[in-house]
Structure 1
Amino acid sequence: MTPHAAKLVLGLAVVAVSGAALGKTSDRQQTMQVQANRSDCTVTESGPCVLTGNVHIVQGSLVIDAARADLRQADGEIRAAKLTGSPVRLKQDMDNGGTMNATAAQVDYDLAQDTVVFTGKATVQQPGRGSIAGERIVYNMRTGQVQGGGGSEGGRVTLQFEPRNRAQPGETAPAGNRNDRNDD
């Protein structure tokens, strides 16, 4: 891989880490390993880089599996990345100790807008915090806003919120969280 192609692949790591719902920040400082069946990268300041076939990216705790990664740049900097697969799978440890898991048919990252769009049976799960699922999930990295939609065929977005003080199996729930109160 040429130095410029390596720079493009490194840009994919930035894209992936940024788009992984605030994953482990130390991952950005780790070496990235990329494997794919094929690469087709232009070594110019504005050329594309396309990785195809069993694309596997690891950087720190971040693991991405996709069928294809298409990176677009301008003036030597990554401007957009499109990951496609059956589905694309992202997994990353979180700074808070949990692990984020996401899947979608396609993941689009727009650096100029600081947004990540998951489309096609998209799910993002953060154990202990909750999950969101729908045909389209948009995450704005600047504001932290997450928007979901069920698609045009009358589908619905599904949200699940985990309680902060959830009792573990075999434990008694705190008095304020008991469901067995008799309010009659």
Structure 2
Amino acid sequence: MTPRRAASGLALALACLLAAGPAAARSTDRDQPMELDADSQDCNVADVNSTCVFSGNVVIRQGTLDVRASRAEVVRRNGDIEQVILTGKQATMKQQMDDGTMMNASADRIVYEPNRQILTLTGNFKVESPRGSNSGQKMVYNMGTGQMQSGGDGTRVRTVIQPKAQAGSRN
């Protein structure tokens, strides 16, 4: 999986978290060039088992996808992306959905594991869309099964589901 596909997968996973209807991450975004800006980059592209680190004011843009973090690590094993780790106070992501609405997410740490199809948000996470919101200290989302787990660790989680009429009228 290329870094472009990994970021697109991350966006799609977050979008699916609150999709009560057919809305999905902007499908044309994954066909756009990806821009990664940071104060510094440290990466060994010749090693198939390496970690590329982007640090300081990291900005990743691809179409309507906009990711911001203090640090981004792309971990490769055998040439495949094993993990994308975004950290900061807070790492944020926003993207327009195919239906025109916006999805926003933030957490102190966002870990995307494309081969396992697992997305983990920890540290004051919040995912918001016109359909609703989910917030707490930790959320694990399995993109393959659609299973989302939050809380259960002694912390509280909060979910708000907007009425269908209200969710469809927001932008």
TM-score tier after normalising by the smaller chain length? 0.7 to 0.9
Distance 1:167 1:13, change over 3 A: closer
Gaps of 5+ in 2: 17-24
Contact 1:17 1:28 in 2 (8 A): no
Residue in structure 2 matched with residue 24 of structure 1 by the alignment: 26
The percent of aligned pairs where both chains have the same amino acid is 38
Equivalent positions of 1:114-129 (< 5 A) are 114-127=117-130, 129=131
Larger radius of gyration: 1
Shift of 1:167: 9.6
**Counterpart contact for 1:12–1:71, Cα < 8 Å:** no
Q: What code does the residue aligned with 2:160 have?
A: Q
Aligned to 1:52: 55
2:139–2:151 Cα contact (<8 Å) kept: yes
Give the C-alpha shift of residue 147 in structure 1: 1.9
Tell which has more relative contact order, 1 or 2 (C-alpha 8 A, sep 6+). 2
1:163 corresponds to which letter in structure 2? P
Match of 2:73 in 1: 70
**Of 4, 13, 32, which residue of structure 1 is paired with 2:7?**
13
Mapped to 1, the partners of 2:119 and 2:141 lie a distance apart of 5
State the 4+ residue runs in structure 1 displaced beyond 3 angstroms: 7-12, 166-169
- CA distance in 2 between counterparts of 1:30 and 1:91 reads 16
Q: 1:78 to 1:133 in 2, by over 3 A?
A: same
Any idea what SS the aligned residue of 2:164 has?
coil
Deviates more, 1:22-31 or 1:7-16: 7-16
* TM-superposition CA deviations, 1:53-108 (whole Å, max 9, x none): 00001000000000000111112111111100110000001123211100100001
Pair 1:168–1:85, CA change in 2 (3 A): closer
Give me the CA root mean square deviation. Answer: 2.3
Partner SS, residue 21 of structure 1: helix
The CA distance in 2 between the partners of 1:167 and 1:57, in whole Å, is 28
Residue of structure 2 in register with 1:148 after alignment: 150
The answer to whether 1:94 aligns with 2:97 is yes
CA contact (8 A) 2:5 2:30 kept: no
TM-score (norm 1): 0.79
Number of residues of Structure 1 aligned to a counterpart in Structure 2:
160
| Equivalent position of 2:19 in the other structure | none
Cα displacement (A) at 1:140: 1.4
- Kindly state the Cα deviation for residue 19 of structure 1 after the two structures are TM-superposed: 3.5
Tell me, yes or no, if the aligned pair for 2:4 and 2:30 is still in contact at 8 Å: no
